[in-house]
Amino acid sequence: MRAHSASVVTATASIVLFTTSLCLTSVVAAPIGKLAPNEIQATFFNAQPFTAATTSNVKFKMTFSADGKMKREPAGGGGAKGTGTWQLSKDGFCTTWSGAKANCFTVVGAGDNKWSIMKGSTIMATWSK
């Protein structure tokens, strides 16, 4: 009977550890949601370059400065250099490239060091660091 009690205690302890590890894993692996405007500014609009890829995989080195200016440089084949301005919006940010009208976007986490740039429900680009 004593051996049976020990195996019940061991089994119970194993279940508790397994359940605890599942809970911790789900907390750590929680999906990344939409970034708030202040998170976008802190992550990207800090004069540190990052990579942007269009949905057709044209890549750019992007730099957004704290003063509201931005620039892009082709990082491979295709694409054109550009400059413009940015500003935070209620839900994300808006950009105006030289010679173009303003467009507004949201930023949604898309994995490790990757973010989807969304216009409505459409992915316009992927940013990575």
pLDDT single digits (tens) 101-124: 999 999 999 999 999 999 999 999
Q: Do 57 and 78 share a domain, yes or no? A: yes
Q: Dihedral through CA 84, CA 89, CA 93, CA 98, nearest 10?
A: -20
Q: Which 8-state DSSP code applies to residue 16?
A: H
Write down the pLDDT at residue 121: 96
Domain hosting 60: range is: 37-128
Write down the pLDDT at residue 84: 98
C-alpha to C-alpha distances, 94 to 17, 36, 39, 75, nearest whole angstrom: 47, 13, 14, 23
Concatenated DSSP letters of 21-51? HHHHHHHHTPPP-BPPHHHHHHHHSSS--EE
Q: How many domains does the chain have?
A: 2
Q: Do 16 and 55 share a domain, yes or no? A: no
How many angstroms separate the CA atoms of 30 and 19, rounded?
A: 16
Which residue matches tokens 């009690």? 5
Q: Do 26 and 53 share a domain, yes or no? A: no
- Residues 6 or more apart from 58 whose CB is under 8 A from it? 74, 76, 77, 78, 79
List pLDDT tens digits, range 35-44.
999 999 999 9
Q: Which of 22-26, 51-55, 58-62, 99-103 has the least mean pLDDT?
A: 22-26
Q: Do 18 and 48 share a domain, yes or no? A: no
- Residue 94 reports pLDDT greater than 90: yes
